[in-house]
């Protein structure tokens, strides 16, 4: 077990950033902390690093209590969203800095430092830029320098705070795949913070969804997407449509659709559905609905649907191009809407 945190609480004045967080991360995993801004994910990361001290709770790193350890004693590498490179130092000096400032007893020899920095720079494919200043590099390149700098001290745990947040989409995608490869090659434990669900689902071994200072769900990316533990998770990891449902004598009906037996008290429920789990047909079982705008977006086709008698704006169904071409819907068509897959939640939970 590489990281274990128990009962972490942290407040900033009135604002509760972390409200009792327990988390275990195994050695060698790449874990994403996912959540909206203000959910406490960055604070949790900074508590792991020792940049922030928790009001209560305990942090263990590699089986040792590290709650009171200062950053420098924790052997963690930290990568910041805005790179945080030292502006007046060359790329080489930036990467070497963590080694050259060590006290003489633990400092490697000058030649060793040089060799290590050159190795790291070639690892991040920036060996040609050793003498440049950070300002002369692009955002993606700077973030790779920051990564090399974090790796220079040979950390057992690498912590990344929205590492790709400041980059444009293409560089971002490239860099996150590259991070995954780097992680697989070097076998450290990584934790990264992101508010981008795609990024989390694509890169991580395990996703931790946070909301209001608590962990809502922890699981493999596919699990979190397919079996969200709460309406919040459903809404956050993808588009989520709400449909009213009703339970009488353990039998659940989502509008006209029979959703089978789900034991529980009688009363209204909330069904949540992904856009690609909505199915359209000319007739048959399902909600009567009307087709609004139809948008063809490359491989996907979005169809807006207004369901008769159900409040809330139009629902958007996502069809594959093939499905759409087999039955091309037009604005104004009357359709029957059914569900391929759904998740049920109590109303109270949803509020």
Residue closer to another protein, measured from CB, 81 or 230: 81
Looking at beta carbons only, is 48 or 257 nearer to another protein? Answer: 48
The distance of closest approach from Cβ of residue 167 to another protein in the complex, given in angstroms and rounded to an integer, is 16
Closest separation between CB of residue 101 and another protein, Å? 6
Cα–Cα–Cα angle for 271, 273, 275, nearest 5°? 155
C-beta of 33 vs 307, nearer to another protein: 307
Q: Which residues contribute to the site for another protein (CB under 8 A)?
A: 46, 49, 51, 71-72, 76-78, 80-87, 97-98, 101-102, 149-150, 153, 311-314, 351
Residue 110 or 321: the one with the smaller Cβ distance to another protein is 110
**Tokens at residue 331, please?**
């604005």
- The CB-of-312 to another protein minimum distance in angstroms stands at 5
Residue number, 51 or 133, with CB nearest to another protein: 51
- If DSSP states are collapsed to H, E and C, what string results for the chain? CCEEEEEEEEEECCEEEEEEEEEEECCCCEEEEECCCCCCHHHHHHHHHCCCCCCEEEEEECCEECCCCCHHHCCEEEECCCCCCCCCCCHHHHHHHHHHCCCCCCCCCHHHHHHHHHHHHHHCCCHHHCCCCHHHCCHHHHHHHHHHHHHHCCCCEEEEECCCCCCCHHHHHHHHHHHHHHHHHHCCEEEEEECCHHHHHHHCCEEEEEECCEEEEEECHHHHHHCCCCHHHHHHCCCCEEEEEEEECCEEEECCEEEEECCCCCEEEEEEECHHHEEEECCCCCEEEEEEEEEEECCEEEEEEEECCCCCCCEEEEEEHHHHHHCCCCCCCEEEEEECCCEEEEHHHHC
Residue with smaller CB distance to another protein, 104 or 181: 104
Contact by Cβ (8 Å): 182, 125? no
Residue 82 CB, shortest distance to another protein, in Å, is 6
Return d(Cα 351, Cα 334) in angstroms, integer: 32
Residue 23: CB minimum distance to another protein, A: 20
User: Closer to another protein at the Cβ: 260 or 313?
Assistant: 313
Rounded to the nearest whole angstrom, what is the least distance from the CB of residue 219 to another protein in the complex? 27
Query: Minimal distance in Å, beta carbon 178 to another protein?
Result: 21
CB of residue 261 to another protein, shortest distance in Å? 28
Q: Which is nearer to another protein, 81 or 90 (by Cβ)?
A: 81
């Amino acid at each position: 077990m590489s990281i274990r945190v128990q009962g972490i609480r942290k407040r900033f004045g009135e604002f509760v950033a972390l409200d009792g967080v327990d988390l275990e991360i195994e050695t060698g995993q790449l874990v994403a902390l996912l959540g909206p801004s203000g959910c406490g994910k960055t604070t949790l990361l900074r508590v792991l690093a020792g940049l922030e001290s928790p009001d209560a709770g305990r942090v263990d790193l590699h089986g040792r209590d590290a709650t009171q350890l200062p950053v420098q004693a924790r052997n963690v590498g930290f990568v910041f969203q805005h790179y945080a490179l030292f502006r007046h130092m060359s790329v080489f000096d930036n990467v070497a800095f963590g080694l050259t400032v060590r006290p003489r007893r633990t400092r490697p020899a000058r030649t060793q430092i040089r060799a290590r920095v050159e190795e790291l720079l070639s690892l991040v494919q920036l060996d040609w830029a050793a003498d440049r200043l950070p300002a002369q590099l692009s955002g993606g390149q700077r973030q790779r320098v920051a990564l090399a700098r974090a790796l220079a001290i040979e950390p057992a745990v690498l912590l990344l705070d929205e590492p790709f947040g400041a980059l444009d989409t293409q560089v971002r995608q490239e860099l996150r795949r590259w991070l995954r490869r780097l992680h697989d090659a070097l076998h450290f434990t990584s934790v990264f913070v992101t508010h981008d669900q795609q990024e989390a689902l694509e890169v991580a071994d395990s996703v931790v969804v946070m909301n209001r200072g608590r962990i809502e769900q922890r699981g493999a990316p596919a699990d979190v997407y397919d079996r969200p533990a709460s309406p919040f998770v459903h809404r956050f990891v993808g588009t989520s449509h709400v449909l009213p449902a009703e339970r009488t004598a353990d039998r659940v009906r989502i509008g006209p659709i029979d959703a089978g037996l789900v034991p529980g008290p009688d009363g209204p429920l909330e069904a949540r559905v992904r856009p690609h789990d909505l199915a359209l047909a000319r007739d048959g079982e399902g909600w009567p609905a009307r087709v609004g705008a139809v948008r063809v977006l490359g491989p996907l086709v979005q169809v807006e649907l207004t369901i008769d008698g159900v409040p809330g704006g139009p629902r958007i169904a996502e069809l594959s191009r093939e499905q759409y071409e087999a039955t091309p819907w037009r604005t104004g068509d009357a359709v029957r809407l059914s569900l391929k897959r759904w998740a049920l939640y109590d109303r109270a939970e949803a509020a």
